[in-house]
Amino acid sequence: MIDTHCHINFDAYDEDRPQVIERAAQAGITRIINPGVDEQSSRAGIALAAQYDEIYAAVGVHPNSTADWDDSKLEIFAELAGEAKVVAIGEIGLDYYWDKSPKEKQFAAFEAQLALASSLELPVIIHNREASDDVMTILEKWAAHLPDSLQNRPGVLHSFSAPAEIAKRALDAGFYLGFTGPITYKNADDLRKIATSVPLDRMVVETDGPFLTPIPYRGKRNEPAYIPYMVERLAALKQISDEEMARATTENAERLFKLP
């Protein structure tokens, strides 16, 4: 199994990071993708990827970190994206829930980083919080002009939580959907209904650790060893075995991020 989104570089793991990574391995997690949220965290993700065979990195500026965005930053991220084991640009997108960056800055950073991803032929990891229509309008326009190498793997809508119509638009544009701890929550029937309709070959699993911890550990720090709880819930929804879901989501992540 692959945790396609865990901020393993965050300070929530500083006291026991090696143990967290070992527990992940014991739980059957073979690879972890660490997305950046700004320059510092992107560099930290690259450093961890160099230290641990099972960790890969994505580099990018999260919408909540875009208040000081200017396009000169693109040169920095183009250089970072060339580092070994960088497999995506992300996490990038729009966030209208928190008021940490003006919309015009978020748009500028999002569109510039999408253009960078296309030029580097890297998929994108998309953050969307209460901005679904704007996110999809931008992504649909971008996805219509991708190089051949990205046609079937433009990226993933990470920790998907939007309405069914947005899921359909994302799938129609070629995107994968990432499922996190909320798929296990009691009040997530709408999300489970959407997951049931997503093609098996377009799903990936993620923790978004240290956030969004699944049942039965909700309220505690999340970690990659909890990926099997998402796999188990999705398998039940799809009426297949846990092993089949684990195999499918692993193959999907390998294809999306071109993992060895």
Per-residue pLDDT tens over the stretch 182-200: 999 999 999 999 999 999 9
- Supply the pLDDT for residue 7: 98
- Supply the pLDDT for residue 187: 94
Q: At 99, is the pLDDT very low, low, confident or very high (cuts 50, 70, 90)?
A: confident
- Supply the pLDDT for residue 201: 98
Which residue in this structure is represented by tokens 């739980």? Answer: 27
Q: Which residues make Cβ contacts (< 8 Å) with residue 225, sequence separation at least 6? A: 20, 23, 24, 26, 27, 29
Cβ atoms of 206 and 178 within 8 Å: the answer is: yes
Three-state DSSP class for residue 7 = coil
Peptide bond into 210 cis (omega under 30): yes
- Supply the pLDDT for residue 154: 98
Q: At 211, is the pLDDT very low, low, confident or very high (cuts 50, 70, 90)?
A: very high
Structural domain boundaries in the chain: 2-257
Cβ atoms of 170 and 138 within 8 Å: the answer is: no
pTM listed for this prediction? 0.97
Q: Which residues make Cβ contacts (< 8 Å) with residue 69, sequence separation at least 6? A: 61, 101, 105, 108, 109, 112
Residue type, 239: Q
Q: Which residues make Cβ contacts (< 8 Å) with residue 128, sequence separation at least 6? A: 93, 94, 95, 135, 157, 162, 166
Strands lying side by side in the sheet with 176-179: 2-3, 31-35, 55-59, 86-95, 124-129, 155-157, 176-179, 203-205
Q: Which residues make Cβ contacts (< 8 Å) with residue 63, sequence separation at least 6? A: 92, 93, 94, 95, 101, 106, 109, 110, 127
Distance CA 49, CA 87 (A): 11
Residue 85: pLDDT above 90? yes
Element (H, E) at 169: helix 164-172
Three-state DSSP class for residue 28 = coil
Helices marked H in 82-121 — which ranges? 103-120
DSSP code, position 110: H
Per-residue pLDDT tens over the stretch 217-240: 999 999 999 999 999 999 999 999
Cβ atoms of 177 and 208 within 8 Å: the answer is: no
Would you report the helix, strand and coil content of the chain in percent, each value rounded to 5?
50, 15, 35
**pLDDT averaged over every residue in the chain:** 97
Residue 260: pLDDT above 90? no
**Residue range 50-74: mean pLDDT, rounded:** 97
Distance CA 89, CA 252 (A): 17
Domain 2-257 has CATH 1.10.3980.10: no
Share of the chain above pLDDT 90, in %: 99
